Amino acid sequence: MQNINDILQLIDSYIGSSYWFVYFLLGVGLLFTLYLGFPQLRYFKYAIQIVKGKFDKEGDEGDTSHFQALTTALSGTVGTGNIAGVAYAVYLGGPAALFWMLVTALIGMTTKFVEVTLSHKYREKAEDGSISGGPMYFMKKRLDLKLPSGKIVKTGKVLAIIFAIATIFSSFGTGSLPQINSISNSVNTTFGIPHIITGLILSVLLAVVIIGGIKRIAKVTSRLVPTMAIIYFIGALAVIFYNYDNIIPSIVSVFADVFTGSAATGGFLGATIAFAFNRGVNRGLFSNEAGQGSAPIAHSAARAHEPVSEGLVALLEPFIDTIIICSITGLTLLASGVWTEKHQNVFQRSDLQVLDKVYYDCNTSDKEMLGQHVNGLKSLSLFSGELEIKDGAIVDKVSLLHSRSLAEDVKVYIKDDLYSGTLNVISGVVQNDVKVRIEGKSLIHSAPLTTLAFTKSWFGDFGKYIVSIGLLLFAFSTAISWSYYGSRAVIFLFGIKGVKYYRIIYVVGFFLASFTDTTIIWTFSGITIALMTIPNLVGITILHKEMKDEVKGFWKEYANRFPKDKLPLFVKRD
């Protein structure tokens, strides 16, 4: 598993985790924000009116209403990114990472407006009569290259194929694998139910829902999204107000650390400005998917005669998903204080490193060196050789880093007994020669961290049930929506006949991920998100002029349909 994770991390370092990727993502969003005159601010009010049906026309073609398209797309974005993803970002980058998540969402509102508008414009009817759309359709129709000689090069089709293939992989990396992995971890922590049992039950339910297609998916998600939001908000607000003394300091820390990096505190060893920025933007994208090209697939099915109207509906997604829900989660983590505390847990091998010297994080000098190590600024010497264990305790003078923190009270077990013997360690990595379980105190991250935060309120331990139920609904609805996204990509590449095979593989992958290493899942997720996002951003940037023309045409029609005193200030009647 460690070798697999190392390979995935190497790939991810060149794309999703690289700085050029986050600059590209934010740069395209900022470009359209300025080019279109801050639509996320000027058009927000009208986006809400469109969701209510104020701009509908009799006979509009599509499979779902504006509201159902919004909830389907939201169910694809509101998931582990809002519970596990925020916790993972704060664990990696501290409070400053939350700030960059919010910036990504604000800019992402425009990005999503653009990608949904263009995708809705070029949607098509599938063989079964349903509406099929997404970035691959505008790529195929609009991005061919015309040479000076007059020859047409099918660059659009190539880009569309790349995007569709990336969408299939991302349906696993975003929608299937991390969702069930987070659910099974949370349910196991809360109720003690084995991961494989949770995976088996939910896999059967998933299969039943996705066989019904977009109409059944839209019907289910339009009920799940409001329900899960209410449950989650109640639990989160209880934590925040229970720890009311920490509300102001927590909010201040989000903004105070932006240009300094998050300082070391408690078991948290600190994070640089660059690290917080990179992780915040990366997790922000995972949360709201603005620029990834996934939401346009859901919105393409909406009944609308004017593409811009559906783009305006989509503009609301990053606001709801990240600016509201992720902020609530982040404030819960910061106010409760659990993000800096070490807790008893079972160590995952991919999160574990053995250093060849004893360090103490109560020592300022040691803590600074450990912080530089986990942030990639300066590498400490790693242990290699036979690590001696006696009655569960490590005999050699070494230190263990787990989850970017110095581990304490470490014990090694073989089944339920304390282990005595040796462990083979190569360059700080414990090998799998002996099947042991390593436990101790360290920082925790992802869903278990949010689960712990929810116990710090008037609800006490009952709070963890709120997270488990909320996460189950959040993540399961995300898996449902992403099965639809993947199936549309399959239709684009292979036709309707390939969908049944895709659904089988999707459900099987969903089941297997319920008991797979969490860190590997998240690393794979980062890669697939980037592979899908890059061609989409390239495509919408090329069509920037067409996007502006679409917006002008929309407001022109709006001006001719409504009384002059009801028009926004920026719209003029001819």
Query: Is residue 452 within 8 Å of 338, Cβ to Cβ?
Result: yes
pLDDT of residue 320: 87
Per mean pLDDT, which range of 69-73, 83-87, 569-573 is the poorest? 569-573
What percent of the chain clears pLDDT 90, i.e. is strictly above it? 39
For the ranges 68-77, 202-211, 288-297, which has the lowest average pLDDT? 68-77
The pLDDT > 70 percentage for the chain reads 89
Task: Determine which helix (DSSP H) or strand (DSSP E) holds 117, and give its type and residue range.
Answer: helix 95-121
Q: Where are the domains of the chain?
A: 29-54+65-341+453-544, 344-442
Decide: 315 and 44 in contact? Cβ < 8 Å: yes
6-20, 168-182, 479-493: least confidently modelled range: 6-20
For the segment 388-420, what is each residue's pLDDT rounded down to a tens digit? Answer: 999 999 999 999 999 999 999 999 999 889 999
Q: Helix 155-170 crosses helix 135-142 at what angle (to 10 degrees)?
A: 170
Span 485-521, pLDDT tens digits: 899 899 999 988 899 999 999 999 999 988 877 677 7
Average pLDDT over residues 534-558: 91
With b meaning 16 or more CB within 10 Å and e meaning fewer, what string describes 457-470? bebeeebbbbbbbb
Range with lowest mean pLDDT among 58-62, 171-175, 440-444, 459-463: 58-62
Question: Rounded to two decimals, what is the model's pTM?
Answer: 0.81
Give which of 317, 321, 324, 341 is closest to 236, Cα–Cα. 324
pLDDT of res. 60: 60
User: Which of 103-107, 260-264, 529-533 shows the lowest mean pLDDT across its residues?
Assistant: 260-264
- Gyration radius (Cα) of the chain, Å: 24
SS3 of residue 443 by DSSP: coil
pLDDT digits (tens, 9 = 90+) for 438-477: 999 999 988 788 889 999 999 998 888 888 887 787 778 7
In the predicted structure, residue 69 carries a pLDDT above the cut 80: no
d(CA 16, CA 529): 7
**Stretch 364-377: mean pLDDT, rounded?**
89
Please state, rounded to an integer, the average pLDDT across all residues of the chain.
85
CB atoms within 10 A of CB 428: 19
For residue 153, pLDDT beyond 70? yes
Whether 268 has a pLDDT exceeding 60, the answer reads yes
Model confidence pLDDT, tens digit, residues 178-195: 888 878 887 887 788 899
Q: Taking 80 as the threshold, does the pLDDT of residue 359 lie above it?
A: yes
pLDDT band at 262, cuts 50/70/90? confident
* DSSP H or E run through 152: strand 152-153
Predicted local distance difference test score (pLDDT) of residue 168: 94
Tokens of 532: 């899908």
Question: Which pLDDT score is estimated for 562?
Answer: 59
pLDDT score, position 568: 64
Question: Quick check: 45 pLDDT over 70?
Answer: yes
Average pLDDT over residues 210-230: 70
Pick the CATH number of 29-54+65-341+453-544 from 1.20.1740.10, 1.10.1740.10, 1.10.10.2160, 3.90.1150.10: 1.20.1740.10
CA 132, distance to chain mean position in Å, is 24
pLDDT at residue 147 in the model? 76
Q: Tell me the per-residue pLDDT of 304-337, one tens digit each, with 9 for 90 and over.
A: 778 898 899 889 988 988 888 889 999 999 999 9
The H or E element that residue 355 is part of is strand 352-355
